[in-house]
Amino acid sequence: KQMKLGLVSPEGADSSSHLRELRVPEEEVRALRQDLQKALEDSERYKEKVRELEEKLAEREKGVGNPPPAEEYEAMKSSYCSAIENMNKEKAFLLEKYQEAQEEISQLKDTLKSQAAQEPGDDAGDMKEAMHRMI
């Protein structure tokens, strides 16, 4: 593909600055995906800890026949509840951020489509091509 060299019109400068703005949400989405992956990994660690605590509790109940000491039981219960609460908070936060990013992406796509429809000739083709690369 050959590039046209020439003066940049104000419309051309505006569309290139808009394309730079579109890259920012893409980076935000990438960061949100990384955060989501980290939260999922944390969730797996919490699940493993919960499983270990449940096994420990089951062993204590079976092996001794007596329930664990009240302090130890309360500590395990508190740890279990805390792990679940942390997972739920992190999940809710990430889902909210993900939905916000999806809405922003949708708005930016709509804006880009409307600009592409208004742009004549090669500029519209370039913008459509850039939009398809981002999607």
Question: Can you tell me the distance from the alpha carbon of 35 to that of 51, in angstroms, rounded to the nearest whole number?
Answer: 24
The count of other CB atoms within 10 Å of the CB of residue 83 is 19
- Asked if residue 76 lies in contact with residue 53, where contact means CB atoms within 8 angstroms, the answer is yes
pLDDT for residue 70 is more than 70 = yes
pLDDT number for residue 95: 92
User: Would you say residue 75 lies in a domain?
Assistant: yes
pLDDT for residue 15 is more than 70 = no
Q: What is the pLDDT of residues 16-58, one digit of tens each?
A: 666 666 666 778 888 888 988 998 898 888 889 889 988 888 8
pLDDT for residue 98 is more than 90 = yes
User: Would you say residue 67 lies in a domain?
Assistant: yes
pLDDT number for residue 30: 86
The mean pLDDT of 97-123, rounded to a whole number, is 85
Domain span at 97: 21-119
- Look at the chain and report how many structural domains it folds into: 1
- Asked if residue 131 lies in contact with residue 109, where contact means CB atoms within 8 angstroms, the answer is yes
User: Would you say residue 7 lies in a domain?
Assistant: no
The mean pLDDT of 92-98, rounded to a whole number, is 93
User: Would you say residue 134 lies in a domain?
Assistant: no
User: Would you say residue 6 lies in a domain?
Assistant: no
User: Would you say residue 1 lies in a domain?
Assistant: no
User: Would you say residue 16 lies in a domain?
Assistant: no
Question: Can you tell me the distance from the alpha carbon of 39 to that of 105, in angstroms, rounded to the nearest whole number?
Answer: 22
pLDDT for residue 72 is more than 60 = yes
Q: Which of 7-11, 39-43, 77-81 bottoms out in mean pLDDT, i.e. has the lowest?
A: 7-11
